[in-house]
Structure 1
Amino acid sequence: MKVLLLAGANSIHTIKWANGLQNAGLQVCLISQHPLMHELDKRVKYFELPFKGSLGYFTMVSAVKKIIKQIEPDIINAHYASGYGTTARLVGFHPYVLSVWGSDIFLFPKKSFIHKWLVKKNLSSADTVASTSQCMAEETYKLISLKNDIAITPFGVDENSFLSNRQYKKLGFLNKHKIVIGTVKSLKPVYGIDLLIKSFALLLTKLKNTHPHLVDFLTLRIVGGGEELENLKALADQLNISNLIKFVGQINHRDVPNELAKLDIYVALSRSESFGVAILEAGLNQCPVVVSNVGGLPELVIDHQTGIIVESENIEQAADAMHELITQPELIAEYGKNAQHHVLENYIWQSSIAKMINVLESTINDFKKDKA
């Protein structure tokens, strides 16, 4: 099967799909207006087009048509219902699968009537719509009635990169003199890093009252770069906890497993999250999680088995969840092992690739039947 991907080459998720499909035996071609920022399999044919920005999704149509004539794909898989979904619709090639990602469904249609109309138009033109999570599929159904069910094609995790077998010290933590809570995420308001900092400050207050001997062990590790860095540092200063927080900065994705291996507890208090692949990466690394009850996050966590789910924007609950794990460190090991087993059973990358290939094959077969 020869598949053409229309997607942002700057996203690690795009590259994982391209490389994974290529390794599975498909012939893959990737067209993008975004620059390549991760290692792409050399067997993948890659075209970076010079048409940039919102207008670029319209002006690149002619160039995409020429590439299609050249490579003659069996199917197109466009990623993102707003931008590349627009290009795919205007190109007019069938069959094609439109994969929705998150903000294209949760945020973009709410900008205006025109934005909503554009996404609905793109969704209705696809032969199959795919979603990484059930919650995003349900949000898509709110926008439009589709002739076929939305296919669930979750992101997977690379077993070879993230699998870990943790060794705990006598007190039940990874380090003898340190308890590390942290996150690996872009520093954007939507990801609630400010909520993490506030809940961490509240946790310190709780521990001073219940387990004061643990306070000096505690540290918060924030990995990632982004627009909120200075605001977050100011918040830490305001709460008088800047000396307990390490802002690591942006790292390469290949270094994420090493960062996860430093954390006793991973915390994701996102205000919006379509899927949450970082939760799976943490789980495979045998790291228990505390997550907010938003978007696709609760789909990935079994409450009080692989982690703890808390209400969105509720720093009191988040602090209590971290307090529960820290004061009962046997739960950290138990939840971590359970999380790893859960990921291995349901979210390994090979399984995700197999699901996507099945969607592509089914779409091709259904299209041929309709034409016959």
Structure 2
Amino acid sequence: MRIFMLSNPNAVHTQRWVKALAERGVVVMLYSFRPYKDNGYYQDMNNVQIKSFAKQRELKGIRNFFPIKLLTYYRTLLKDIKASIQSFQPDIVHAHYLSDNGLFGALSGFHPLIVSAWGTDVYDYPKWSGSRARVIRYVLRKADCILSTSHVMAKEVFKYTDKEWLFVTPFGVDMSLFKPLPVVKQKNHVVFGIVKTLSHGYGIDTLIDAFALLRARRPELSISLRIVGEGKEREQLERQAADLGLSKEISFMGRIANDKLPEVINQFDIFVALSRIESFGVAVVEAMATGCPVIVSDAPGFTEIVEHGQSGLIVKCDDPQQASEAMENLVDHEELRLSLAKNGRERVRALYDWGKNVEEMISVYKLMSTNKNV
């Protein structure tokens, strides 16, 4: 099978999909309209070709005026995409992220066309303006099949289409990589942790406030908070920690490569994710796979992953007090931590095992390539 994939080659989810498909004998041409800096990730992969349309935009004064971009830069880009598809002769074109790659896929005129919604492309982009909402409706109308990473995001997609061909294909976890590891931990010390982009939507500020409340309420506890990730709010969050007098207890670890995360997460005793919005929550699934008990907000993507009291604890969004009480509960009750950890890993094995997710994706490919109605 041959798949022409429109996606960002630098995105970790793209890398994981391409690698998994190639290992199963699927031939992939990965096309990017962004300049691609080759870091060697795809270098030794069989069945994979990379093509980047690296021409830079020169319309600096009107770069956000959609019709102008469409008639100039995008016209040249679309011509190159069509030529690349014709040369590659794929069975399917698969575009990841609706508002850019999805649009190029729709305009290419190729069928079967599969489009994947990732999150902000359906939660945020169509709400910015009526014209952008029309773009999303157009892309979904032209697609033969739609993929969503979660059921809750599928509901959001259905606000813009009534198309029946929609499948949920999660960004699952490689359980051979994300698993419990033998680590040496400091005795009688509890480490809270989070792996997330440092931006407002992911509630890192709420987590810091919750940690501060717990520290103030239980000063005798030996606790710390490790924040893994980068983002535009890092300086602001570091100031918040300093203003609360917690610079020693809260450490900012920066971005860590995905294959190094299992070792880092295994150092955590409790994983806390308090996002304000979440379409799925891969990091939470990764934490559950390592056997780390989780506390999450009631953002819709999390409530699909976590069963409250069974595979984790769920607290109200933007409620540092309730979050701090849940954190305290797990500090005080080791048996509950162990139970949540065990049940969480079992839930990931049942629903979010990466190998199963990839096979489900390939099944969709086979279905669409043989569907006579497309």
Give your verdict on TM over 0.5.
yes
The worse-fitting range, judged by mean Cα deviation, of 38-47 and 116-125 is 38-47
Aligned to 2:199: 188
1:175 maps to amino acid: Q
Separation in 2 of the partners of 1:58 and 1:188?
A: 34
Aligned to 1:206, which of 207, 217, 226? 217
Q: Does residue 155 of structure 1 match 2:171?
A: yes
Letter in 2 for 1:75: I
> 1:274 pairs with 260, 275, 279, which one?
279
Which stretch of structure 1 is more off in the superposition, 128-137 or 37-46?
A: 37-46
Number of residue pairs the alignment of both structures matches? 357
Q: Secondary structure at the match of 2:373?
A: helix
**Which of 42, 45, 49 lines up with 1:42 in the alignment?**
45
- CA displacement 1:78-125 (0-9 Å, x = unmatched): 001100011001111000101000000000001000111111111110
Q: Map 1:56-71 onto structure 2 (within 5 A).
A: 59-71=76-88
Q: Give the secondary structure class of the aligned counterpart of 1:290.
A: strand
Once the two structures are superposed, residues 252-277 of structure 1 have per-residue CA deviations (whole angstroms, 9 ceiling, x without a partner) of: 22211111011001111111111111
Counting only pairs closer than 5 Å after superposition, residues 1-372 of structure 1 correspond to structure 2 as 1-34=1-34, 35=36, 39-40=41-42, 42-43=45-46, 44-51=48-55, 55=69, 59-146=76-163, 148-165=164-181, 174-208=185-219, 212=220, 214=221, 217-366=222-371, 369-370=372-373
8 Å contact from structure 1 (residues 6, 31) kept in 2: yes
User: How far has the Cα of 1:51 moved from its partner?
Assistant: 4.0
Normalised to the residue count of structure 2, the TM-score between the two structures is: 0.91
* 1:164 partner SS: coil
Aligned equivalents of 1:348 and 1:247: distance in 2? 29
- Which digits, 9 at most, give the CA deviation of each residue in 1:5-36, with x for residues without a partner? 10111110011111111112211111112325
- Separation in 2, partners of 1:338, 1:7: 34
Corresponding residue SS for 2:158: helix
Stretches of structure 1 that go unaligned for 5 or more consecutive residues are: 169-173
Name the CA shift for 1:137/1:58 in 2 (closer, same or farther; >3 Å).
Answer: farther
Which letter maps to 2:45? K
Separation in 1 of the partners of 2:325 and 2:39? Answer: 39
Structure 1 residue 330: deviation in Å? 1.7
The question of whether the paired residues in 2 share the 8 Å contact of 1:190 and 1:272 is answered with yes
Question: CA 1:81/1:57 → structure 2, altered by over 3 Å: closer, same or farther?
Answer: farther
Give secondary structure in 2 for the equivalent of 1:296: helix
Letter in 1 for 2:315: V
Contact 2:147 2:169 (8 Å CA) reproduced: yes
Choose between structure 1 and 2: higher helix proportion.
1
Question: d(CA) in 2 for partners of 1:59 and 1:332?
Answer: 56
Unaligned runs of 5+ in 2: 58-62, 64-68
CA deviations on 1:136-184 (whole Å, 9 max, x unpaired) are 00011112222x242111111112211115679xxxxx43142100101
Q: Is the 8 A contact 1:33 1:52 kept in 2?
A: no
Q: What is the one-letter code of the residue matched to 1:331?
A: L
Is the CA contact (8 Å cut-off) linking 1:11 and 1:37 kept in structure 2? Answer: no
CA contact (8 A) 1:4 1:29 kept: yes
Partner of 2:66: none
Return closer, same or farther for 1:313/1:233 CA change in 2, 3 Å cut-off. Answer: same
Question: TM-score normalized by structure 1?
Answer: 0.92
Q: Which amino acid aligns with 1:294?
A: A
SS at 2:98 equivalent = coil
Judge conservation of contact 1:76–1:97 (CA < 8 Å) in 2: yes
Is the contact between residue 118 and residue 149 of structure 2 (CA under 8 Å) also seen in structure 1?
Answer: yes
Cα distance in 2 for residues equivalent to 1:51 and 1:100: 26
My pick for the range that moved more, 230-239 or 100-109, is 230-239
Spell out, residue by residue over 1:218-262, the C-alpha distance to the aligned partner (whole angstroms, 9 max, x if none): 001011111111100111122121221111112222211111011
